[in-house]
Amino acid sequence: MTVFAPRSVDSQPLVMHVVYSFDVGGLENGVVNLINRMPADRFRHAVVALTACADDFCKRVQRDDVQFLSLHKPPGHGIKLYPRLYRLFRTHRPAVVHTRNLAALEAIVPAWAAGVPVRVHGEHGWDVSDPHGTRRKFQVLRRAYSPFVQRYVALSGQIERYLVDRVGIPAQRVERICNGVDTERFQPGAAAGRAPLAGSPFNDTDAIVVGTVGRLQAVKDQLNLVRALAVARERGGATGEKLRLAIAGDGPLRPAVEEEIRRHRLSDAVWLAGERRDVPEVMRGFDVFALPSKAEGISNTILEAMSSGLPVVATAVGGNAELVSESKTGALVPAEDPAAMADALLCYASDAALRHRHGQAGRLKVEQSFSLAGMVARYTDLYERLLRQRAN
């Protein structure tokens, strides 16, 4: 457990970010970006994980005044944590408690009971148990907690419509703030084309490398991408033979992915790179970025790929269509359809000029609409505006 320093009367307001776990993932990476970029003279920050804060991931936070707390919650409802959360909020008096996704929403009740002035809940997307947000049970749960939430943040238009139309949250209580990407870290390589990547077996210039980055879990469906590669190599002739697949990330789906690679006899064409800390360099080591997810909110990795100048082939789920402009920055294909994914990959594999053109268009779109500076400014304004309203 991390020990929190008591708040002094002259310190900046404290924002407590409450998440289910603080480990590798798009949601968590968004929290890291927000903390690192928000001006230190505006807010202090702390991260509370209902389960655990991973030490290595916490090191991505560059500010030395940020504190972390792991509550080690067992499976099931978190009501047993309510007294502990209540004491935590009463002792450290955060100005803002910001919970994220349904798994952490239950912490909003002890925040209300402890008198936290501003309570914000962010919806980033759905998981594999409710990939399209259709399960009535989860809609009812969100509605039950709504009296304790002052403002909702939806990371996509689809989630905003879900909260208003299906959960029944008044539209004036929902704001849309999309993820932002660090366009300085994630940028195209200095030279045209793919850059050599440390450890990659596919650095030869003849290969066409399709890459993906993400936790290996069912909702991300890397199995579908392996199957798509098998179809593309079978159908694509000489072009298909040039295709290689790099999968960066680790997680519980890895044994199944390894078995799928063996089943299709693709060991020489697929590289399981494991978890990488050099994701910007990894992106520059791809020719095409692919995201085969069954469900998504607003994907950080799609934005990072676009910022890196890559064309994107993604499944038409969640907020992906808000990021990928069909036939302009990439292609959208049905989820769990390896043949459709294979066709899109072959299209890019056969046309270097198309890859370059769509990659440039994606970079421009990120610069114009998804900058990290813009995201941080909108969250800073939201927190300060709600605190002013509360004071008045």
pLDDT digits (tens, 9 = 90+) for 116-173: 999 999 998 877 678 778 899 999 999 999 999 999 999 989 899 999 999 999 999 9
pLDDT of 30-80, one tens digit each?
A: 999 999 999 999 999 999 999 999 999 999 999 999 999 999 998 877 788
- Look at the domain 14-180+371-391 and name its fold: Rossmann fold (3.40.50)
How does DSSP assign 230-274, residue by residue?
HHHHHHSHHHHHHEEEEEE--STTHHHHHHHHHHTT-TTTEEEEE
The token pair that represents 345 in the structure block: 């990959």
Residue 36, judged by CB atoms within 10 A of its CB (0-12, 13-18, 19+), counts as middle
Of 137, 121, 140, which Cα lies nearest the Cα of 129? 137
Q: Residue 297 — very low, low, confident or very high, per pLDDT cuts 50/70/90?
A: confident
Q: Which CATH superfamily is domain 208-369 in?
A: Glycogen Phosphorylase B; (3.40.50.2000)
Task: Give CA–CA dist 339/225, Å, rounded.
Answer: 10
Task: Give CA–CA dist 64/79, Å, rounded.
Answer: 32
Same fold, 14-180+371-391 and 208-369: yes
Average pLDDT over residues 191-211: 92
Residue 290, judged by CB atoms within 10 A of its CB (0-12, 13-18, 19+), counts as buried
Q: 391: Cβ–Cβ under 8 A, 6 or more apart, which residues?
A: none
pTM of the model: 0.78
**Structural domain boundaries in the chain:** 14-180+371-391, 208-369
Q: What percent of the chain has pLDDT over 70?
A: 97
Average pLDDT value for the chain? 93
Q: Where are the alpha helices (DSSP H) in 169-323?
A: 222-235, 237-242, 254-263, 279-284, 300-307, 320-323
Question: What's the one-letter identity of residue 116?
Answer: V
**DSSP-based three-state secondary structure for 287:** coil
Tally of residues, the chain: 392
Are 244 and 351 a contacting pair, CB within 8 Å?
A: no
Q: Tokens 């991973």 label which residue?
A: 54
Average pLDDT over residues 247-258: 97
Task: Give CA–CA dist 332/230, Å, rounded.
Answer: 19
Average pLDDT over residues 204-226: 95
